[in-house]
Amino acid sequence: MLDSWPEAIFYLGVLVLVAFLIALLIVGTFETRKLKLQADQAEDLRQLVRRFEQLAEGTLDAQQRTASDLAELRARATSIEQILRTVD
């Protein structure tokens, strides 16, 4: 087995070093996975923001068309009222 204390201490040191390296590998793997998940969440959020911006633009366009149509209808109604007043 082991012949002396220095040899036992050496092997114990090697064992601690190997355990430390394995722990570093595991922590690194978890950190990499966590960063990838955060990057995926950030990309999903960017896509959601782009979709919201597109919907907002579409809504603004529809509101502008509706306002234009309403203004035209008001002008026509005013014109019809004037024609009806002249008929009386």
Structure tokens at 62: 């529809």
What are 36-81's pLDDT values in tens digits?
A: 999 999 999 999 999 999 999 999 999 999 999 999 999 999 999 9
Owner of token pair 């068309």: 65
What are 9-40's pLDDT values in tens digits?
A: 999 999 999 999 999 999 999 999 999 999 99
pTM of the shown model:
0.57
Please provide the DSSP assignment of 24-61 as one string: HHHHHHHHHHHHHHHHHHHHHHHHHHHHHHHHHHHHHH
Structure tokens at 76: 């026509």
